[in-house]
A and B are shown apart, each in its own frame.
Chain A
Amino acid sequence: MKSTLVVGALLTVMTATGAFGQAIKLANVAELSGGGATVGTNWKNGIDLAIEEINAKGGVLGRKLEVSHADSQSNPGVARAQVQKALDAEPYVLLGPGYSGSVKVTAPLAAEAGIAQIMGGEAAELTQAGNKFLFRTSFGQQSSMPKVAKYIHDEMKAKTVAVVWVNNDFGRGGRDVIVKELDRLGSKVVADLSTEAGQADFAADVGKIKAANPDAVFVYLNEEESARILKELKRQGVTAPLMGETTLIGQKVIELAGDAANGARGHVGLTTDAPVDLVKAFREKFSKKYNYVPDHNGLKGYLAVYMVKATTEKMGKVDPKKFADTLHGLTIKAADEPGILMDVTFSDTGDIDRQSFLVEVVEGKQVVKQVLPKVK
């Protein structure tokens, strides 16, 4: 009788300490195969890198982080199934997906389960549906595109603009916001060209731009296609200034397009090319571990994990129920949490506010032309 009691007590102590030292479980659902595989793999690698770093330094509140990765096959139906599976296992926070469509189908599930979801989608509408559990890791297009439109109108003094976009939810989303903004500012969209993901031949598209003879061209494509259209623009002798986002003037595009990238300008919200020391250090660590330079999705995944860390440390405990409330309105300073790379504030809708840059490619190098401060 006595011995059973002792054993019982021992067991209780053991499970209690076990719970104390238990890992914090995160679940990631991302596009690891299919059309978004590059996006999802970057995102996943960013997550793994951040977790490795955090665990090497003793974890969060003394507990290790653990993540499970699931592949959504870039298909909203599969994403739904995998998020369901992840939520059934009751993770602390849900990470991903990256495609806006997949976010749309999974966000209600996470909200219903009361679990915060930190995702990579950039479509404007995602954070406008009143979901209290959804957080971005980058600017939504509703906050980045107006800055670009303003630059095209005010600085480039373009009265006519050609808009080239890739016909997926990323490209279409950006196109819709910027066309509206340009219209509001009084710049006329004289060519509105949709292109396909993976397109190799831009002769026809550039021909149309040339015929429209705009004052500026806004290019919103994936990196590889950006490089191809830059070459074609040069070949056909289009001289109008080019404006884009991270995807037009990133280091990878410059590498692929060579001197055709010179003169292109872009708004850089979140990029490994940002002229910030912490970001440069991140880039180095990432390329050392994975043998390639990450795109902004790698950064997003990395930040997502540090958002979890900063929020949890702010709460002082691991409480999935209070996580979302704590992150709303939170400002995380890079001085306090170097992993967040740049000072950032989260709004009540889960949107992000952060410094950004306007960059021009000069002789194969990015030169910062302007620093755009945080809105608030």
Chain B
Amino acid sequence: MSNLFDLLVAGLATGAIYALVAVGFTLLWQTSQTINFAQGEFVMLPAFLMLAAMQVGAPFWLAIILGILLSMILLGLAFKLLLVDPMMRHGVLPLAIATMALAIGIKEAVKQFFSAEASPFPSIVPTGEVAILGHAVSLQSIGVLVVAILAVLGLTTLLNRTSLGHQMQAAAQNPTVARIIGVPVERMILLTFLINAFLVALASLLITPIYLAKFSSGEVLGQAAFIAAIVGGFNQVRGAIAGGLLIGVLDNLAAAYVSTQYRAAVPMMFLIAVILFRPQGLLGRAEERTV
């Protein structure tokens, strides 16, 4: 079963990417009921910001910092102030549709102002391979997996162990009560948007060497992350991780043992099964609010 090992490792690495993207997805949903259909494009864009910084002469490390900062300003602050805030009180759907339009806008802008071509992107993880149990495993895959796990551990620690995290959770679970007990709800929501922007910039940095910087690379990612978030339970950070990893592995197992033509069908079947038998998601809790 040497093949199975390869499949699992590759699946986990892809799944870790989905997970990283899905985490931010669930964060936005919890705090502001934002379904962000542009999440995939949010991952695509920071790599281009970094490439642009390098084009004007910044060294790679500076480009990374600039890219992350710019992402937090554009995809965190501006996204919240300009698009989410005016629409938040008007239900889930209009905002979701507006993020769809945003996705089109970002894609087209990148295509128009940068290129329709895929550009290579430098890797922060060495590109070699190491042998684990007699199998060559790419360092990039390990890097993605490790960073994804660290990011999530950091995030859960922040949410569960710090008072800031408790305030964020309070703001997410019951904004009215949170406000009464003195939690700065607005600021907490803004914070989640900034965290999401940071996570997508991080994801962008990790996966663009594999996916390449291309205007359309967000489409596949965004959809996979959305599915991962649903499978894992929309309201749990842990769930998004489990969902992401599971979708990555399932996809590979499906291609290997079911059919390459229908590889995308298996995660979908799984999604339907999850909804029927465990509607709150694998690790989600039953919803406390009627949203």
Contact = CB atoms under 8 A, between A and B. Distances in A.
A37 B116 contact: yes
Interface residues of A, number: 34
A195 B260 contact: yes
B11 A205 contact: no
A47 B71 CA distance: 36
Interface in A112-164: none
Contacts of A211: 3
A35 interface: yes
Contacts of A256: 118, 120, 212
Contacts of A40: 116
Contact of B6 (A196, A236, A292): A236
Nearest to A35: B216
Q: Majority SS of interface residues in chain B?
A: helix
A269 B215 CA distance: 28
B10 interface: yes
Contacts of B264: 196
A292 B213 CA distance: 14
Contacts of A292: 115, 117
A198 B219 contact: yes
Nearest to A228: B210
B216 A235 contact: no
A42 B116 CA distance: 8
A37 B107 CA distance: 11
A258 B209 CA distance: 13
Contact of B251 (A195, A201, A255): A201
Given A38-B116, A292-B115, A207 B217 contact: no
A237 interface: yes
Given A35-B216, A205-B260, A235-B136, A200 B14 contact: yes
A2 B56 CA distance: 68
B32 to A, nearest CB: 30
A290 to B, nearest CB: 8
Interface in A279-296: 291-292
A237 B136 CA distance: 9
B79 interface: no
Contact of A224 (B3, B214, B219): B214
B252 interface: yes
A247 interface: no
Nearest to A232: B10
Given A38-B117, A198-B217, A224-B212, A207 B256 contact: yes
Contacts of B252: 201, 203-204
Interface residues on B, range: 35 or more
B190 interface: no
A204 B260 contact: yes
A152 B111 CA distance: 38
A200 B210 contact: yes
A290 B97 CA distance: 34
A200 B215 contact: no
B261 A37 contact: no
A80 B263 CA distance: 32
A1 to B, nearest CB: 58
A99 to B, nearest CB: 15
Interface string B218-248: 0110000000000000000000000000001
Contacts of B255: 204-205
A193 interface: yes
Contacts of A41: 111, 116-117
Interface string A34-74: 01011011100000000000000000000000000000000
B7 A207 contact: yes
A198 B253 CA distance: 18
Nearest to A207: B3
B211 interface: yes
Contacts of B216: 35, 37, 198
Nearest to A206: B6
Interface string B262-280: 0110000000000000000
A204 B7 contact: yes
Contacts of A210: 3
29 contacts: A37-B111, A37-B116, A37-B216, A40-B116, A41-B117, A167-B261, A193-B260, A195-B260, A196-B263, A196-B264, A198-B219, A200-B14, A200-B211, A201-B11, A201-B248, A203-B252, A204-B255, A205-B260, A207-B6, A207-B7, A208-B256, A208-B260, A211-B3, A228-B210, A235-B136, A237-B136, A256-B120, A256-B212, A258-B127
Given A37-B116, A201-B13, A201-B251, 16 more contacts: A33-B107, A33-B111, A35-B216, A38-B117, A40-B116, A41-B116, A193-B260, A194-B261, A198-B220, A200-B14, A203-B252, A204-B252, A223-B118, A228-B210, A236-B136, A292-B117
Interface of B: 3, 6-7, 9-11, 13-14, 107-108, 111, 115-118, 120, 127, 129, 136, 138, 210-212, 214-217, 219-220, 248, 251-256, 260-261, 263-264
